[in-house]
Amino acid sequence: MTEELQLKLDQKIALQDLKLNALLEITSAINNNLSTEQLLNNFSFVLKQQLNFRRFVLFIDQEGWNCILKEGFKGKIDAKSNIPDLLRFKDITLLADSNSNLLKEFNVVLPVLHLGQPLAYLLLLDNQLKPSMLIDTDSHLSFAQTLTSIITVAIENKRLVKSNIIKEIISKDLEVASELQKLLFPSDLPSDRKMDVHAKYIQRHAIGGDYYDFIPLGDDEYILCIADVSGKGISAAMLMANFQATVRTLFKYQRFELAFLMEELNKKIVLNAKGEKFITFFIAHFNAHTRKLKYINAAHNYPILYMNRKILPLTDGCIGLGMLDELPSINVGSLTLDSKATLVLYTDGVVETEDLNGEAFGIDRLIKDIKTYSGLKMEDMNDIIFSHLTDWCGKGNYGDDTAIMSCKFF
């Protein structure tokens, strides 16, 4: 790796660390039930000191629009007269010019919407931006919008608590959690002459800790992975979100040997989780030209490879990521896949789903389904497996987040 490429990679990861720390700082303030004034002070600090915005104004609709935060702007701001100029903005927008005296002082509008209705607007002056630039969804502007959304919901929740509207709070929390969860998963999985890939996921709680991914590395090489984080809640979901972003960032800039990748990921998790959580992880690299599959299983439920009417559990690997400061040993598994080999990756919610008597669905039933239905399209096979899981738990609910990603290699 060249020094320039390494520098770009280090800068990208450093920026992710800054964003994660800022997000954890904000969520910690929310969890500690700080006052609205303290939340806004924390938010202002992140915008000014960490994201380097020197001028900003925040409007929030709380049974009427109010300007509740401003920095670097002198004079009074009348929300009622300025909000009509903002209502047309539905997405992050760079301002070239405006007839509004207020908007002339800024060059970015970040709206926060709920079901298409505006909840807040953050106006920013960013001297590093030009009107001709395209907004990168991974940029600090998108991140600032996310923080604004979190702060807006938190402040609104405080108002709702005072009004004793608990159901509305829960509904808003669930919606935010659901939207965060969707960001973790790939939107398109291939089904073509090379392979048929399909995944299905059911959350047990509002915020889940399961993650799967499919990353093309070119025309003939692919990364397949699945992971599960210990614990539940916001901190677990944020750790998994950062983990997913790190995996994709690393592969975006360079192709790594799997063992080196695992060492780097372990360092990141140890740093971010501080020994409080760990991640089980399975990752495989498939070359469609040579048909070689290399993999490492970091204490995850072993994926099942069904090939030539034989079941091959993929167990080579290492301990879970984040369990120790350094991985004591890493074994890389390698094998050659025959035509129509089927690989099924899953999280523990599949095999640990219990019936009304407390008996787990178990690995044997999963293997039986794979043997029976692997000749179908992967989407159909996954649907059948989930229907069997639903029948198994009966009137009960899934005990944990449940994810399956199935791959057939032609």
What CATH number is attached to the domain comprising 135?
A: 3.30.450.40
| Same domain membership, residue 214 and residue 113 | no
Share of the chain above pLDDT 90, in %: 47
Q: 296 or 356: which carries more pLDDT confidence?
A: 296
Question: Cβ contacts of residue 369 below 8 Å, gap of 6+?
Answer: 381, 384, 385, 388
Q: Over the chain, what is the mean pLDDT?
A: 85
Domain boundary among 126, 160, 180: 180
pLDDT given for residue 136 in this prediction? 44
Q: Is the pLDDT of residue 15 over 70?
A: no
| Same domain membership, residue 400 and residue 371 | yes
Give the start-end residues of each E strand in 95-165.
Answer: 108-114, 117-125
Q: Is the pLDDT of residue 398 over 70?
A: no
| Same domain membership, residue 170 and residue 317 | no
Sign of the four-CA dihedral 167, 173, 178, 179: positive
Taking only the tens place, the pLDDT of each residue in 184-207 is 678 789 999 999 999 998 876 656
Q: Is the pLDDT of residue 132 over 50?
A: no
| Same domain membership, residue 201 and residue 165 | no
Q: 350 or 175: which carries more pLDDT confidence?
A: 350
Count other Cβ atoms within 10 Å, centred on residue 231: 13
Give me Rg for the CA atoms of the chain: 24
Listed residue (164, 145, 175, 180) closest to 46, CA to CA: 145
pLDDT confidence bin for 131, thresholds 50/70/90: very low
Q: 406 or 104: which carries more pLDDT confidence?
A: 406
Q: Is the pLDDT of residue 130 over 60?
A: no
Q: How many structural domains is the chain composed of?
A: 2
Domain boundary among 180, 197, 226: 180
Q: Which residue is it, tokens 């350094």?
A: 326
Taking only the tens place, the pLDDT of each residue in 283-320 is 999 999 999 999 999 999 999 999 999 999 999 999 99
Domain boundary among 113, 147, 180: 180
Burial (CB count <10 Å: 0-12, 13-18, 19+), residue 162: exposed
| Same domain membership, residue 201 and residue 159 | no
| Same domain membership, residue 357 and residue 256 | yes
Taking only the tens place, the pLDDT of each residue in 245-281 is 788 888 876 777 899 999 999 999 999 888 889 999 9
| Same domain membership, residue 243 and residue 154 | no
Q: Residue 318 maps to which CATH number?
A: 3.60.40.10
| Same domain membership, residue 352 and residue 273 | yes
Write out the two tokens for 243. Answer: 């983990």
pLDDT given for residue 133 in this prediction? 40
CB 367 within 8 A of CB 348: no
Q: What whole-number distance in Å separates Cα of residue 246 and Cα of residue 139?
A: 15
**375: containing domain:** 189-409
| Same domain membership, residue 336 and residue 198 | yes
Taking only the tens place, the pLDDT of each residue in 47-84 is 888 888 889 999 999 888 999 999 998 888 988 899 99
| Same domain membership, residue 320 and residue 203 | yes
Q: 180 or 160: which carries more pLDDT confidence?
A: 160
| Same domain membership, residue 129 and residue 271 | no
